[in-house]
Structure 1
Amino acid sequence: MKLLSLNLGRARAVEYTDQPEGVTGIDKRPVEGPVRVTAPGPKGVGASGLAGDAVCDVRHHGGEDQAVYAVAREDLDDWERDLGRPLPNGVFGENLTTEGLDVSGARIGERWRIGSEVVLEVTSGRIPCRTFQGHLGEKGWVRRFTEKGAPGAYLRVIESGEIRSGDPIEIVHRPDHDITVALQFRAVTTEQALLPRLLAAGEALHPVAWEKARKYVAKYGG
């Protein structure tokens, strides 16, 4: 398992974002590094966990629980076959393009060491948005991405440090529950009956998903 590509974005103006300033950092491009990784601060204030990476809409992106976004190269390859077009590393707006790691199959709270210093913790799957659809230029992209159910993973920073393209990735902690990123994603999008199960992931779960699960249980039981 390794970090195949380390990707950073720069703010640029586009027509397809609903961000008030009309700019987005979703178009991320590979860099060799090293890049410093630190916890960016709370949602609405903090942006990316990677130095030099633009997050323009801090209402919905960035912050402690979405400090880093990872996508498996294997999932990009699968989408290439579906879409019939090349998808370079970083095209989904991911900071980390991994190789040999089942990102969407990772458990909430799973921890990865990247290189010798950085430790990240899985919090949730990525929810597709209008900006993502505009960036890809694929009709019905939000629906297609949701139906596929392989959203990639948001991560929080547990231990800061520097990472580089090519760094090894090691799973240093795997929780004993069975709540994967893919299951969490389905629960908050298309299969809300799964929401009670998310509570088994405990405090590692993204707070928004935790609150959604808690409210569902309070209303319907579980």
Structure 2
Amino acid sequence: MTDKRIYVTSVSSSDVHGFSKQNRDHIQLLTGLGVEGDAHMGVTVKHRSRVAVDPTQPNLRQVHLIHAELFDELTEKGFSVAAGDMGENIATRGIDLLSLPQRTRLHIGDEAIVEVTGLRNPCKQIDDFQKGLLHAVLDRDADGGLIRKAGIMSIVLRGGRVQRDDAIRVELPALPHIKLERV
């Protein structure tokens, strides 16, 4: 029987700006800030390349989510990628994160709510982690459009504790839906 649950498979954080994050028993999401103790936590942007352009821009990348199914796909292609390796805070299973529209709300566990802001734009650091991985997380659709498969970004609307096996409930925004773009 196929598991139809939508749930958290792992949580990760890091207090330093690096590529991978350490797996944790749980993480604490803080309203309007992100993951407690994570280097990317804050009201304004924390990603170094974006800070260099404009350090006052809002942080639309407070929480990085990635679908664990991507780890399965990458393993089949010969890569060795585990939870936390790609810098995500939350890995999920049972949901096509990439197809969600902007402003989708994900209710995670008993309290936390994050709002989807856009796609993670994979960068050269992915190839620094494992050669060829950048190409593996990019694809093309039938029309030749670029598909970024390295996860989605979100902001914290309501804080709370998040841990492995927490259920996720999807709340779609009102129509019309806006397709995710890179943030």
TM-score range, shorter chain: 0.7 to 0.9
TM-aligned CA deviation for residue 53 of structure 1: 1.7
Q: Secondary structure at the match of 1:157?
A: strand
Letter of the 2:151 partner, please give it. Answer: G
TM-aligned CA deviation for residue 155 of structure 1: 0.4
TM-aligned CA deviation for residue 164 of structure 1: 1.9
Give the TM-score of the pair, scaled to structure 2: 0.76
The Cα offsets for residues 58-85 of structure 1, whole Å up to 9 and x where unpaired, read as 4438953110000001122112112x13
TM-aligned CA deviation for residue 138 of structure 1: 1.3
In the alignment, does 2:37 pair up with 1:52? yes
Question: CA 1:173 to 1:57, structure 2 compared with 1: closer, same or farther past 3 Å?
Answer: closer
| Percent of aligned positions that are identical | 22
The Cα offsets for residues 133-189 of structure 1, whole Å up to 9 and x where unpaired, read as 212x214x43443326223110011112222222110013334234333xx35xxxx
- Return the alpha-carbon distance in structure 1 between the equivalents of residues 27 and 87 of structure 2: 19
CA contact (8 A) 2:64 2:89 kept: yes
Give the TM-score of the pair, scaled to structure 1: 0.64
1:125 pairs, out of 119, 137, 142, with 119
Looking at secondary structure, tell me which structure has more strand per residue: 2
In the alignment, does 2:73 pair up with 1:78? yes
Q: Which has the larger radius of gyration?
A: 1
Where structure 1 has 5 or more consecutive residues not aligned to the other structure, the ranges are 12-23, 41-48, 186-205, 207-222
CA contact (8 A) 2:28 2:159 kept: no
| Structure having greater relative contact order (Cα 8 Å, sep ≥ 6) | 2
CA contact (8 A) 1:107 1:175 kept: no
- The root-mean-square deviation of aligned C-alpha atoms, in Å, is 2.3
CA contact (8 A) 2:12 2:27 kept: no
Alignment correspondent of 1:100: 94
1:35 pairs, out of 28, 38, 42, with 28
Looking at secondary structure, tell me which structure has more helix per residue: 1
In the alignment, does 2:115 pair up with 1:115? no
Where structure 2 has 5 or more consecutive residues not aligned to the other structure, the ranges are 1-5, 41-45, 52-56, 141-146
Letter of the 1:112 partner, please give it. Answer: L
